[in-house]
């Protein structure tokens, strides 16, 4: 008894040719994304197994991440609230949120660079939608994020804080984060497969961005200079999630900037993917 692939699948047509027009490239790229979405169970399993294997044999598993984030937030919180002359009650929830969100963002960007190169054996032995590998990166990082969210919950409970109904305003930010994460993986994954020196560049950019963005320092501390902050895309992306959870609605300007930057990122990623999709297998 063996598996005969179903009748409906038998009309599969696979066709490639050189000198594709933009319209055709677009169709191929859309099919790639749709094909990836159809394989969501595979993307989920791959991401989940990545995490499980990373912590194989460890008793606490990914909760080690929760603990290290927790310790980091706790100690930095005490130190910086003293340095910045702020009350712990004001500073700690802010820091917990920032640290967890930034951790997700920075790790995702770092891993996005390897989205295709890490799956080289698979890409070279079976035709798979490239979008699948972007989904895998997203799943993996969302699972890590889910563990780190415990830190935020603990901080909020310990300080008996409740963001209230304003927290719901963070929800529209989720699809934006998801779209940006997938776009980043397609873009960075492809560029880094072609140019191997991009990865160290990306890593140092992220390091600089960490200090230039209000992650450990609060936007208010900039005083009058804070008007320039919306130019920093990381600020906008963080703010649309963070400020609702701290009980404030983000300004329209911040939302507008976040939407604008995301549109630019997704547009760039798509333009790149249109051109690069058929070449990635040669690059890795």
Partner 1 sequence: MMSRDASIDAQDVSVLFPLYHGNSRSLKKLLVAAASGRLAEDQQHRVVVRALSDINFNLKSGERMGLVGSNGAGKTTLLRVLAGIYEPVTGRVRLHGTLNALLDPSLGMNPELTGRENIMLRGLYGGLSRPLLARLEEDVIEFSELSDFIDLPMRIYSAGMAIRLGFALATAIRPRILLMDEWFLAGDAGFLEKARQRMEEMVRAADILVLSTHNDAIVREWCTRVMWLDKGRIRADGPAAEVMDQYVGTPAE
Tell whether residue 46 is a contact of partner 1 (CB under 8 A).
yes
Which of 23, 56, 165, 208 is close enough to bind partner 1 by CB under 8 A? 56
Q: How far is the CB of 272 from partner 1 (least distance, A)?
A: 15
What would the two tokens of residue 253 be? 């300007």
What gap in Å lies between CA 109 and CA 189, rounded to an integer? 9
When the beta carbons of 105 and 193 are compared against partner 1, the nearer one is: 193
Which residues 145-184 are close enough to bind partner 1 by CB under 8 A? none
Which residues 211-250 are close enough to bind partner 1 by CB under 8 A? none
What gap in Å lies between CA 55 and CA 63, rounded to an integer? 9
Residue 229 backbone dihedrals phi, psi, to 5 degrees: -55, -40
Burial pattern 115-143, b for ≥16 Cβ within 10 A else e, equals bbbbbeeebeeeebbbbbbbbbbbbbbeb
When the beta carbons of 27 and 89 are compared against partner 1, the nearer one is: 27
Identify whether the C-beta of residue 143 lies closer than 8 Å to the C-beta of residue 51.
yes
Site pattern 123..142 for partner 1 (x: CB under 8 A): xxxxxx--------------
Choose the binding region for partner 1 from 79-87, 92-100, 120-128, 239-247 (rule: CB under 8 A).
120-128
Tell whether residue 41 is a contact of partner 1 (CB under 8 A).
yes
Tell whether residue 113 is a contact of partner 1 (CB under 8 A).
no
- 184: helix, coil or strand? helix
When the beta carbons of 117 and 251 are compared against partner 1, the nearer one is: 117
Which residues 191-210 are close enough to bind partner 1 by CB under 8 A? 194-198, 201
The residues, any chain, with a CB within 8 Å of residue 96's CB and separated by 6 or more, are 73, 77, 151, 152, 155, 156
Tell whether residue 3 is a contact of partner 1 (CB under 8 A).
yes
Identify whether the C-beta of residue 46 lies closer than 8 Å to the C-beta of residue 139.
yes
What gap in Å lies between CA 55 and CA 190, rounded to an integer? 28
How many residues touch partner 1 under the rule CB under 8 A: the total is: 46
Binding stretches for partner 1 (CB under 8 A)? 1-7, 9-19, 38-39, 41-42, 45-46, 49, 53, 56, 121-128, 194-198, 201, 278-279, 281-283
């Amino acid at each position: 008894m063996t598996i005969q692939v179903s009748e409906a699948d038998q009309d599969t047509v696979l066709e490639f040719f050189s000198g594709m027009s933009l319209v055709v490239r677009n169709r191929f790229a859309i099919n790639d994304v749709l094909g990836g979405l159809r394989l969501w169970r595979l993307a989920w399993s791959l991401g989940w197994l990545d995490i499980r294997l990373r912590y194989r044999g460890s008793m606490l598993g990914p909760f080690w991440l929760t603990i290290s984030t927790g310790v980091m937030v706790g100690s930095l919180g005490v130190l910086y609230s003293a340095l910045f002359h702020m009350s712990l009650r004001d500073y700690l929830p802010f820091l917990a949120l920032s640290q967890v969100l930034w951790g997700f963002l920075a790790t995702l960007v770092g891993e996005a660079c390897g989205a295709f190169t890490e799956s080289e054996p698979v890409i070279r032995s079976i035709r798979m939608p490239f979008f699948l590998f972007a989904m895998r990166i997203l799943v993996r990082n969302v699972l890590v994020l889910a563990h780190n969210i415990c830190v935020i919950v603990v901080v909020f409970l310990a300080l008996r804080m409740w963001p209230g109904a304003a927290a719901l305003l963070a929800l529209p930010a989720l699809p934006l984060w998801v779209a940006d994460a997938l776009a980043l993986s397609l873009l960075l994954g492809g560029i880094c497969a072609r140019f191997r020196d991009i990865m160290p560049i990306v890593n140092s950019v992220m390091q600089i961005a960490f200090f230039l963005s209000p992650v450990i320092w609060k936007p208010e501390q900039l005083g009058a200079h804070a008007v320039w902050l919306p130019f920093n895309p990381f600020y906008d992306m963080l703010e649309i999630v963070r400020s609702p959870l701290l009980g404030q609605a983000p300004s329209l300007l911040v939302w507008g900037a976040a939407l604008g930057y995301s549109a630019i990122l997704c547009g760039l990623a798509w333009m790149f993917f249109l051109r690069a999709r058929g070449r990635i297998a040669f690059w890795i």
